[in-house]
Amino acid sequence: MGTNGRESQLSGALPARIRAVCVAAGCVSALASLAVGGFVYAIPLVAATLIQPRLPRPGRRLIWLSAAFLTLIMVPMSVVLIPEALKTPLNRHYSFSLLMFALWVLSPLLITWCDLELLIDAVGTRRERRTTDQPHPAFAGNWLMWIVAVVLNWFFFPGVASDLRFYRLHHYMDILLLHLGMDLVVILFDAALLLDIAKMLRARLTKNKQA
pLDDT band at 208 (very low <50, low <70, confident <90, very high): confident
Is residue 9's pLDDT more than 50?
A: no
Q: What are the residues whose beta carbons fall under 8 Å from the beta carbon of 97, sequence distance 6 or more?
A: 85, 88, 90, 91
**Residue range 129-177, pLDDT digits in tens:** 666 555 555 555 678 888 999 998 888 877 676 777 766 766 677 777 8
Residue 35 phi/psi, 5-degree rounding, is -75, -20
Residue type present at position 75: V
Mean pLDDT, residues 110-126: 92
The full DSSP string for 34-67 is TTTTTHHHHHHHHHHHHHTTTSHHHHHHHHHHHH
- How long, in residues, is the chain? 211
pTM exceeding the 0.75 threshold for the entire prediction: yes
